[in-house]
Structure 1
Amino acid sequence: MRGILFILLAYIVITGADATVKWVLPEVGVAMSMIARGVVGATAIILLTGGRGLRPVNMRLLALRGLLHCGVSATWYWSWGRGMALVDSYAIASAAPLLMTILAIPILGETVGWRRWTSTALGFVGVMVMLQPGGDLWRFETPFLLVAVVVMAVTRIWTRVLSATDGPAAIAFWLMVAHIPSGLLLLPAFPPATVTFGPGLVVALLFFGVANAIAHIFFARAFALAPVSALAPYEYSPLLLGGVLGFLIWAEVPAWTTLAGAVVVIIAGLYNLHRERVRRAAEQRNGLI
């Protein structure tokens, strides 16, 4: 239950960060957004932890995870910069839970009961309702985002693997650091539209970096506390948050298929939470006996 709480807090914070970077992308660009995320995020983690717990243990996996995650970040920023709605991109990302649940079996050796399989499959039905080929979500960016979702599912599982050797601060810190060289490499292809950043842009980038740092500490803590299959359905939660923020900031109105699918995946997530509570209660009773 604590793992679920941390994952929900992480998604609340990261959705705010995503809305912020989508707002500044027309002026800042993909590369500078990644550099700001890395510099500000890494600095924030150092200040929050006092520099403790940042020494890497599994540096090879930390580096590989960071590199792949940077590719995911760049793909998302590129799609938002091209005008994709926040909620539509989250709808595509909601294909990740099924992948996470499936991949956690061979990679982590996790067992998944039939009820959790059912809730995940129900969520996937909702995703299919949203991702109809030829529907409103199918744009030039969609196939690239689908590839990024597969990579994202792998990095989520590797977060669980890393939690056995590295603490949340180290996992989040080295991910932030990886964004700096990645952003610098992308700078020639994605230069900023403006050279002089005003106070508003600076404040937005500071918030963006700090929010990412906090969110990824929460992510790492969540995956250390709970199995991937229990946390996977909460990948759906940004759908609701992103839909609200997208409407309030950009007047984005999702298609009815997106809304219908979102209802299905939210129901699936709530059912999974109920089953997790029942399972934990049963374990406690058995422990007392």
Structure 2
Amino acid sequence: MADSAPARRGGLSIPTGAETVRGILLILLAYVVITGADASVKWVLPEVGVAVSMLARGVVGSIAVFIFVRGRGLRPHNVKLLTARGLLHCTVSAVWYWAWVRGMALVDSYAISAAAPLLMTILAIPILGEKVGWRRWTSTLVGFLGVLFMLQPDGDLWRFETPFLMVAVCIMALTRIWTRVLTATDEPAGIAFWLMVAHIPAGLLLLPAFPAPATMPGPGVLVALLFFGVANAIAHILFARAFALAPVSVLAPYEYSPLLLGGVLGFLIWAEVPAWTTLAGAAVVIVAGLYNLHRERVRRTAEKRDGGR
């Protein structure tokens, strides 16, 4: 029926409450997968370096996406935006891997990236025309206050890599917005595929600065790289699907979820213990994200009630 088609704004569908909750669940799953991928690459980085990690992500990830979707939905439509997003995302990846290979803790890097949700919420207004209610603004701002608490001057998070990561976070927020824009023209599998492909030339360009190891890595490292590439493929398909279903301003607070996951993995693998300021700030941002999920559930219940009338 004609009246069953979803409303659209600027080429993007206006999601229902049910679609929004599905988007939230998908992005939470994506963050679980990508955190595992990040832990695996941080573990192998001392063995293989930044450039080889980029290449592994590009080659294995693109092959994995192709196999998952059997080659369907990969045709690019918005080529310019796909290219720009891919190049910027590769910059973010390289900065993150460089920080990890220099010894930055996984949870500390995630703490810095927690500034992204506020930027995403702000950028979604002029770029996507999203409307952000006062409750969502409040939860995002409270989360950002938690980030500021973690990023105290002269605190444990302030080190040489920190300002580079902060610039990368700003770029990452923009690429998240562009993911939402691309869902109006390209399939989630295609968005993920061309992002993986972009890491191949980026990795080749970085080889002079970050040479490949002189000897073949051991089986454990090769398995970790394989997992790293496949996990990235799965996560970015989920990311693209989530952004197709839900507004950026709703999904933005779940950028905080890797803080908890990364803290657990960092402790189990490297015995990394974050500072108490990081833990306290993380608690604030996680509560802010959970409150946003509660608001979406309230909205979904209201939609069902109004529909019944």
> Could you tell me how far apart the structure 1 residues matched to 2:200 and 2:212 are?
15
Secondary structure of the residue aligned to 2:155 is coil
Counterpart residue number, 1:18: 38
Instruction: Give the distance between the partners of 2:218 and 2:140, measured in 1 at CA.
Output: 45
Partner of 2:260: 240
CA distance in structure 2 between the partners assigned to 1:194 and 1:78 by the alignment: 19
CA deviation map 1:50-97 (0-9, x unaligned) = 101100111110010000000000000000000000000000000000
The aligned counterpart of 1:222 is 242
Comparing 224-233 with 186-195, greater Cα deviation is found at 186-195
Q: Are 2:188 and 1:188 aligned?
A: no
- How big is the shift at 1:134? 1.0
Counterpart amino acid of 1:149? Answer: V
Report the Cα offset of residue 133 of structure 1.
1.4
Matched, 1:9 2:38: no
TM-score (norm 2): 0.92
Amino acid in the other structure paired with 1:43: I
Offset of residue 196 of structure 1 = 1.1
Q: 2:289 aligns with which of 259, 262, 269?
A: 269
Of 44, 55, 62 in structure 1, the residue corresponding to residue 64 of structure 2 is 44
Rate the CA distance shift 1:16–1:194 in 2: closer, same or farther, 3 A.
farther
1:95 and 1:149 in contact (8 A); partners too: yes
CA contact (8 A) 1:26 1:81 kept: yes
Per the alignment, in what secondary structure is the counterpart of residue 77 of structure 2? Answer: coil
> Any residues of structure 2 matched to 1:1-289 within 5 Å, and which?
1-289=21-309
Provide the aligned length of Structure 1 versus Structure 2. Answer: 289
Q: In 2, distance between residues paired with 1:195 and 1:94?
A: 37
Match for residue 3 of structure 2? none
**Secondary structure of the structure 2 residue equivalent to 1:190:** coil
Deviation at 1:285, TM superposition (A): 2.1
Q: Percent identity between the aligned chains? A: 80
* Contact 1:26 1:193 (8 Å CA) reproduced: no
Contact 1:34 1:182 in 2 (8 A): yes
**For the residues of structure 2 that align with 1:288 and 1:166, how far apart are their CA atoms?**
34
Contact 1:28–1:194 (CA under 8 A) maintained in structure 2:
no
Paired residues of 1:72 and 1:152 also in contact (CA < 8 A): yes
CA distance in 2, matches of 1:120, 1:190: 37
Shift in Å, 1:99:
0.3
1:112-168 Cα shifts (integer Å, max 9, x gaps):
000000000100010011011111000000000000000000000000000011011
Task: For 1:46 and 1:20, locate their aligned partners in 2 and report how far apart those are by CA, in whole Å.
Answer: 22
Q: Which amino acid aligns with 2:195?
A: L
TM-score (norm. length: structure 1)? 0.99
CA RMSD between the two structures: 0.7
5+ unaligned residues in a row in structure 2: which ranges?
1-20
Question: CA offsets, 1:248-287, max 9 Å, x none?
Answer: 0000000000000000001101111001111122223223
Partner Cα distance (1:284, 1:117) in 2: 24
Between the aligned partners of 1:270 and 1:201, the Cα distance in structure 2 is 36
In structure 2, distance between residues paired with 1:281 and 1:62: 36
Task: Give the whole-Å Cα distance in 2 for the aligned partners of 1:85 and 1:2.
Answer: 31
